[in-house]
């Protein structure tokens, strides 16, 4: 199993550009989520999905869209990049049911100039 795979690992965007961060998992997990990590602010939830076709907003959803057409994939779209979206982005997945471990990808470091 590859686990949770995120691409790309690094990306530089210009203000106003759009892009999609890819996330794929091969563990057949129902629950997937996107976090951003900023210095001193821990991990903040952007969007999450409890299964294919179902998504919901997290703590900081503005400026981001998600979709979940398959169990395996959960892409995160930046509609019009802003410098405030410079961050490290992590995708995570886990089985449904509360007491289950979350598996994280290696992260995408995004810089918006």
List the strands of the sheet with 64-66, edge to edge: 4-7, 19-25, 76-78, 64-66
Q: Considering only residues 48, 78, 87, 110, which one is a binding residue for other proteins as defined by CB under 8 A?
A: 48
Pick from 34, 77, 81: nearest CA to 59: 34
Nearest to other proteins of 17, 86 (CB atom):
86
Rule CB under 8 A: say whether 101 interacts with other proteins: yes
> Please, what is the minimum distance in Å from the beta carbon of residue 17 to other proteins?
25
Distance separating alpha carbons of residues 62 and 107, to the nearest angstrom: 20
How many chain residues interact with other proteins (CB under 8 A)?
26
Q: Between residue 16 and residue 45, which ones bind other proteins under the rule CB under 8 A?
A: 31, 33, 35, 40-45
Q: Token digits for 36?
A: 């951003």
Nearest to other proteins of 17, 95 (CB atom):
95
Rule CB under 8 A: say whether 106 interacts with other proteins: yes
CA torsion sign for 80, 36, 56, 12 is: positive
Q: Dihedral angle at the C-alpha atoms of 79, 84, 87, 90, nearest 10 degrees?
A: -50
Residue ranges in contact with other proteins by CB under 8 A: 4, 31, 33, 35, 40-45, 48, 50, 58-59, 90, 92, 96-99, 101-102, 104-107
């Amino acid at each position: 199993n590859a686990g949770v795979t995120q691409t790309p690992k690094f990306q530089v965007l210009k203000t106003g550009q759009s892009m999609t961060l890819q996330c794929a998992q091969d563990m057949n997990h129902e629950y997937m989520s996107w976090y951003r990590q900023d210095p001193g602010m821990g991990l903040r939830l952007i969007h999450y999905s409890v299964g294919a076709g179902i998504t919901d907003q997290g703590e900081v959803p503005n400026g981001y869209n998600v979709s979940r057409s398959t169990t395996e994939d959960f892409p995160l779209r930046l509609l019009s990049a802003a410098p405030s979206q410079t961050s490290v982005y992590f995708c995570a997945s886990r089985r449904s049911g509360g007491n289950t471990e979350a598996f994280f990808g290696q992260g995408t470091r995004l810089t918006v100039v």
